[in-house]
Amino acid sequence: MKFTNCEMKNRIADMGAFLREQPTVLTEYDEPLVRRLIEKVTICEDKFIVEFKSGVTVDVNE
């Protein structure tokens, strides 16, 4: 799904507002939080890629 710049900014703002409502320290896995934020995780040989529902992707190389 492709988003315009305005849509992307709105989705990121919505995600930021949601995160500000969450406890600041996560001490255990939170299934509802994960399902709300993450679209998919792709596992590669040397990294994994997290794609958020906002459309933002993050490469994790560890």
* pLDDT given at position 4: 80
Residue 58 contacts residue 15 (beta carbons within 8 Å)? no
Indicate the pTM of the whole model.
0.56
Write out the H or E segment, with its range, that includes residue 41: strand 38-43
| Distance spanning both ends of the chain, measured CA to CA | 27
Q: Identify the band that residue 1 occupies on the pLDDT scale cut at 50, 70 and 90.
A: low
Token pair for 4: 């315009």
Write out the H or E segment, with its range, that includes residue 51: strand 48-52
Q: How far is C-alpha 54 from the chain's CA centre? A: 7
Condensed to tens digits (0 to 9), the pLDDT of residues 14-51 reads: 877 877 887 777 788 889 888 988 999 999 999 999 99
* pLDDT given at position 41: 94
Q: Identify the band that residue 55 occupies on the pLDDT scale cut at 50, 70 and 90.
A: confident
